[in-house]
Amino acid sequence: MNKEKMTAKEIAATILSCCIARNLDIRRVTVWPSEAYGWDASFLAEFTSISANMARFERLVFELRAMFDLIDEYE
């Protein structure tokens, strides 16, 4: 299966949009290269909602890794 290639900023924006659509209380998403997974992501949220969102966020990232590859923003 061919994955769409996106920059870290594009993947982060996609993840944040999906979080909003799934009613996750997440304010910001950061994406960076990962040797193990190709890319990884984390989120910023209110302290009281971090644990409630963690598992759902990780499932979303897992789903999106199957669809998107990270490219160098300067390619």
pLDDT at residue 75 greater than cutoff 60? no
The pLDDT assigned to 74 comes to 54
Q: What is the pLDDT of residues 3-54, one digit of tens each?
A: 999 999 999 999 999 999 999 999 999 999 999 999 999 999 988 878 889 9
Query: What tokens does 27 get?
Result: 């304010």
How confident is the model at residue 51, as a pLDDT? 87
The pLDDT of residue 68 is: 96
**DSSP assignment letter at 49:** G
pTM over 0.85: yes
Q: Report the distance separating Cα 19 and Cα 50, nearest Å.
A: 13
- The string of DSSP codes covering 43-71 is EE--GGGHHHHHHHHHHHHHHHHTTEEE-
